Amino acid sequence: MKNRIVRAVAGSFVLISLALAMTVNINWLWFTAFVGANLLQSSMTRWCLMDIILGKLGVKD
């Protein structure tokens, strides 16, 4: 369950920041890059802050 939530949040952040970059300010693409870098980092280190937060909120794997 946690993996699905993490993916949904990351995907939502990417889509929202792309929409904001197109309508508000191009600098929102930096947020998209940040999300992508975090996804890459978590794939290599197997450490994800969102996973820890969800665990503390009581979400099961």
pLDDT confidence of residue 1? 82
Give domain limits for the chain.
Answer: 2-56
Q: Please report, rounded to a whole number, the percentage of residues in the chain having pLDDT higher than 70.
A: 100
Which pTM value belongs to this model? 0.84
Contact 47, 2 (CB under 8 A): no
Mean pLDDT, residues 9-31 = 97
Q: How many angstroms separate the CA atoms of 53 and 44, rounded? A: 19
Distances (CA, A) of 27 to 4, 11, 17, 30, 38: 28, 18, 9, 6, 18
First to last CA, the chain: 5
SS3 label, residue 1: coil
The rounded distance, in Å, linking the Cα atoms of 3 and 31 is 21
